[in-house]
Amino acid sequence: MRKLARDCVVVLAGVLVVLVLFTTAKFFASSVIAPSTSGIRGALRLKRIDYLFIGSSLTRQDYDPAAMERQTGKTVYALAYNGLNPEYMSKVVAYLCGLSDVSVGKVIIEVSPMSILEEDRLYDERLYFDAPYPLKIDILKLVARGSSDADRWTSIWDLLVTSSNDAVLSYPITCKFLDALSYHGGYTSMKYMPPMTRKEFASISEDGSAAGGRAERILEEAVLAVQQTLVRNRIAFTYVEPPIPITREHGPRFLAAKAALKALILPKGMTYVDFSENEFDSSNYEYFADSWHMSTKGRTVFSELIAERISAGKL
Amino acid sequence: MPRGGVLNFTSPIYYLFVLITWIVFTFVGGRRRWIVLLVASYLFLATFSQPAAILALAAVTIVTYGFGLLLRSRTDAREKRVVWILGIAINLALLIASKSTTVLFGAANRVLGIAPPPSATSWIVLIGLSYYVFQAISYLMDVYLERIPAERHLGHFSLYLGFFPKLLQGPIERAGAFLPQLAASPEADPTAIRQGLKLIVFGLFQKVVIADRLAVYVNTVYGSSGNYQGWPLIIATYFYAMQIYCDFSGYTDIARGVARCFGINLMLNFRTPYLSISVTDFWRRWHISLSSWILDYIFRPLQLRFRRAGKWGVAAALLIAFALCGLWHGFTATFLVWGALQGALMGLSVLLRGKWAALCKKARIPVWLPPDGLRMLVTFHLVCLSWVLFRSRTIHDAWYVITHFVVGLSPRNLPSAILLYGDSSALGKFIVTCALLAFFAAIELQRFRGKGLADFARARALRGAFWIGMCCMVLMLTLGSGSFIYQKF
C-alpha cells in the first residue's frame, strides 16, 4: 500500500508541475500567439483606427470592414467577442484608451437588448486568450465578481487551465489560417454565411432560455464606465443596434428589454441608431444566417448602409 | 430524462463520495462490507432526487428475491414454470411501462400539444431501470434453469442489483459472477486499487477528452441535419461512431475502476469493437454484457424454437433478438430499424456461410477470404452507417443523412465543414480532436494485440509519464460537457 501511495503522490506532483508551467506560460504569452487580423492583437497592430466597431458576434458577422473601407477610405476595425457585454467592454475600452501608440477616431458601440437579457458572464474565452497581461487580470476579476460562490472557482479554473488549449497546441498549424480568416476583425470571403430558408426564418421566436436576472445597477455602471473612459480620452462614440430577424425582434420580452436599454442610454444624451427600425429590411430572410446573425448577403447590404452614413458624416 | 444528480461520474464530488465510501469500506470488517456498499448505493441513487427510482429499485429487488426463493422451493416443474413466468412478467411490465409511457407522452405532446408535467416524467423515467431489470430477469432465468442457486442473502442480492458504480449504465452483470464475489468478502488490495485507478483515469480520458469534444460537432450537425450535406454529415457520422464508443466505454471503465477499488470485478463490456472483422464479431466485442444477455436469453430460446428451419431459423432468431435489442434502447422506429438491421446483417452472414467456400470449390480455386484489415474496414463502415439510424431523431432524418453523404463532396467545401466546429477556433479544435483520435486509435491497436495501455514503455519513468500525461489531458483538454448517452436507456 505504501508503494501505491508513493506512486500516486509522484503522479499528482507531476500533474501539478505540468499544470502550473502550462498555465503560467499561457497567462503571460497567449496574447503573443493570438490571431493578428482579429481581436485585440489585430487592433493593436493597426496603430490608427478611424472607426472602431466594438461588440459581440453581431459586430463580427454583421460588418464588413473591407467593404466599408473601400467605400469610405477610412480605416475600419471590428473588435468582436461573442456575447461581449458592457462590463467586459468597459475593460477592453479602458485598456485600449490607456495605450499611447493606438489612436482611435470614433468608437461605434454595439448595443443589443441581448446584453440585458443574458447573464453577466464571459461568453468568449478568446477575450481572455487575446488579452495582454494587465487586461487579463481585469477579466479574471470580473469573472470572479460575476460568478456565484459555487461557480467562482470553476469559472476561474476553466479560464486559467482549460480554456483555449486547443489554440495553443495547434498554433503552428492554424496561425496562418486564422489570420487569413479575418480582415480587420471581420470575416473574409473564406467564411461564407449561407442565408436561412424562408421556413427557418418563419420559425424563429423569442429565446425562452435567456435569463432575465441581470443587475441593472451593474449594467448602468458598466455603460457609464465605457462612456466616461471615451469622454475622458476625447474619443467620439455612437451606439448602434444592429438589425436582427424581425420575427425575433417583435417578441414581447425583447421589446421590453429594448425599452429598458433605451431608457438607460438615451437620457444621457447619447446617439442611438436603431437599424432594425428603419433603413434595413429585417423581414428579408435572405439577410440572416441564423436567428441572430446576418448572412453574407445581409452583411454586404448592411455594411453599405453603414458606409453611406459614415461618408455622409451621419455616424 | 434526469441528467444526473450531483454525483455525475465526471464531477469531482463523485470521486469524493467514492473516497469517503472507500475509507469506511476499508475500516469495516470483511463480513459487513456489503452494508457499506449497499448504503452508499442507495445514497448515490438518492442524490438524483427521484424517490420513484429508489422505490422501483427496492421493489424490483424484493420481488425478484422473493421469486428466486420461490423457484428454489418449488419442485413441481409446472409450478416452477408459473413462478418463473410471473417473476419475469412483473419485471418486464415495469420496464415496458416505463419505456412506453415516455413514448406516449412524447406522442401526446406532438399530436395534442399536451406536455406532461416534469414531476410526471421524473416518476416514469426511472434511473438505471433498464439495467437492473435485465439483471433481475437474467437472475430468474439462471435460477429457473438451475445454472445458479437462489440467493438467500437479501443484502447481497440488493447489492447485486443496485451496486452504485454499475447502477446507471451497467455493465449488466450476471448473478453467477457477481454474487460469489460478495460471498467471499471483497478485499481492496494495492494491485486492485492500482488497476482501478488506471481504469478510472482512462475512462475519464475517453469521456471528457474525446467523447464530449466530439459531441460538440455531432450535436451541431445532427441537431439540424437537414441543413447539411456532404462533408459535415460524413465527419459527424465518423465522429458519432467514436463519440458513442468513447462515451459508453469511458463510463464502463470508470464503473469497473471504481468497483475494482472495492475489490469487485465487473465484466468487460468492450473489446476493441471497431477492429471487428464482421458484424457478428462486432457484437461479440460491443456492449458485451447486453449482447451476451440477448444471445443467452432471447436468441438461444428462439433458435431452439426455430431449429427445424435450419439456417433460416437461426437468421430469423437473430433478426427478432436484435430488433428487441433495438427496442430496449427506446420504443422508436429508429431504434427498431437499427436493431433489425444488426440482426439482418448477422442473419445474412449465417445464410451465406459456406456458400462462398462451396463456390470457390466449384470453380476449383483455393478458398479466398479478404484480408482482416479490409474486413475490419468494411465492418466499421457498416456499423457507422447503422449509427446514423441510432443518432437520428426520425427515419426520415436518417434517410436524409444517408442519401446526402456524397452530395457536394468537393475538397473546396471541406474548410466550411471544419468551421462548423465553432468560430475561429474551429480549426484548432478539429486538429486537436483528430490528433486525440489518432492517439486513441494507437491505444486501441495496442489493446487489440492484448497489451496494456502503457506497455509500449519499458522504463518505469516513461510509464509514469504516460499516466501523468493522461491526467493532464483529462484536466486540460476538456471541451463541452454532456451527460452519458447510454444513461437515457
The pLDDT, as a whole number, for residue B114 is 67
Instruction: Answer yes or no: do B193 and A4 touch at CB < 8 A.
Output: yes
The pLDDT, as a whole number, for residue A124 is 87
Strand partners, A237: A107
Backbone angles phi, psi at B152, to 5 degrees: -90, -30
Instruction: Answer yes or no: do B468 and A177 touch at CB < 8 A.
Output: no
Residues of B with CB below 8 A from A19's CB? 472, 475-476
Residue scoring higher pLDDT (B168 or A217): B168
A23-311 to CATH, choices 3.40.50.1400, 3.40.50.1110, 1.10.260.40, 3.40.50.300? 3.40.50.1110
Q: Quick one: A314 exposed, middle or buried, by C-beta within 10 A (0-12, 13-18, 19+)?
A: exposed
Instruction: Answer yes or no: do A162 and B476 touch at CB < 8 A.
Output: yes
The DSSP 8-state label assigned to residue B11 in this structure reads S
Q: Across the A/B interface, how many CB contacts are shorter than 8 Å?
A: 76
Residue with cell 483515469: B201
Instruction: Answer yes or no: do A14 and B468 touch at CB < 8 A.
Output: yes
The DSSP 8-state label assigned to residue B365 in this structure reads S
Residues of A with CB below 8 A from B471's CB? 11, 15
- Please check whether residue A288 is in contact with residue A196, taking contact to mean a CB–CB distance below 8 angstroms: yes
Minimum distance, in Å, between the CA of residue A162 and any CA atom of chain B: 5
The pTM assigned to this predicted structure is: 0.86
Q: State the distance between the two ends of chain B, measured CA to CA, in whole angstroms.
A: 10
Q: Average the pLDDT over B268-277 and give the result.
A: 94
Minimum distance, in Å, between the CA of residue A41 and any CA atom of chain B: 14
Which of B190, B415, B425 is closest, CB to CB, to A166? B425
Say yes or no: ipTM exceeds 0.85: no
The DSSP 8-state label assigned to residue B116 in this structure reads P
Instruction: For chain A, give every domain's residue range.
Output: 23-311
Residue scoring higher pLDDT (B471 or B451): B471
pLDDT above 60: residue B1: no
The pLDDT, as a whole number, for residue B134 is 94
- Please check whether residue B170 is in contact with residue B160, taking contact to mean a CB–CB distance below 8 angstroms: no
Which of B431, B464, B477 is closest, CB to CB, to A165? B477
Cell of A293: 446573425
Residues of A with CB below 8 A from B427's CB? 170, 173-174, 177-178
**pLDDT tens series, chain A, 315 aa:** 888 889 899 999 999 999 999 999 999 999 898 888 999 999 999 889 999 999 988 999 999 999 999 999 999 999 999 888 888 888 999 898 888 888 899 999 988 776 665 667 788 889 999 999 889 999 998 888 876 666 777 788 888 888 888 888 988 888 888 888 889 998 887 777 888 888 888 887 765 444 444 556 666 777 788 888 888 888 888 888 888 888 887 777 778 777 877 777 777 777 778 876 667 888 888 999 888 889 999 999 999 999 998 998 887
Share of chain B above pLDDT 90, in %: 56
Minimum distance, in Å, between the CA of residue B265 and any CA atom of chain A: 20
pLDDT tens string B399-419: 999 999 888 788 888 888 887
Instruction: For chain B, give every domain's residue range.
Output: 12-187, 191-270+384-488, 279-369
Minimum distance, in Å, between the CA of residue A7 and any CA atom of chain B: 8
pLDDT tens string B32-84: 899 999 999 999 999 887 888 899 999 999 999 999 999 988 888 888 899 99
Q: DSSP assignment of B266-323, as one string?
A: PPP--S-GGG-SSHHHHHHHSSHHHHHHHIIIIIHHHHHHTGGGHHHHHHHHHHHHHH
Which of A11, A162, A174 is closest, CB to CB, to B471? A11
Minimum distance, in Å, between the CA of residue A86 and any CA atom of chain B: 22
pLDDT band at B482 (very low <50, low <70, confident <90, very high): low
Cell of A180: 487569413
Contacts of B306 (CB under 8 A, 6+ apart): B312, B313, B314, B316, B317
